[in-house]
Copies of this chain bind each other. A is one copy, B any other.
Amino acid sequence: MYVILVYDIGEMRVARMLKLCRKYLNWIQNSVFEGEITEVKLKEFMGKAHTIMDLDNDSIILFKSREQRWLDKQIIGVERGPVTNFL
């Protein structure tokens, strides 16, 4: 399954969330990630994300699509991809 993930996380927790997201997905903009992921891996990610999040203040929005080809992605302006894929 293909997912787009966007987070809005308090400053105190954002570095940990960024690191976690980069283990499972590709970073495409400040707080936006995308990638292919299995249901099992997504559940694993969600479990870890919950331990980082303050559910009263933070949020994650997840868009799931069975097929990446159903979504057309367009970038306008700077491409802010990750400088490196190494953590």
Contact = CB atoms under 8 A, between A and B. Distances in A.
Interface of A: 4, 6, 8, 28-32, 46, 49-50, 53-67, 70-80
Contacts of A56: 77-78
Nearest to A73: B63
B63 A79 contact: no
Contacts of A29: 6, 8, 59, 61
A62 B28 CA distance: 12
Contacts of A50: 76
Contact of A61 (B28, B46, B65): B28
Given A6-B6, A6-B32, A29-B8, A57 B71 contact: no
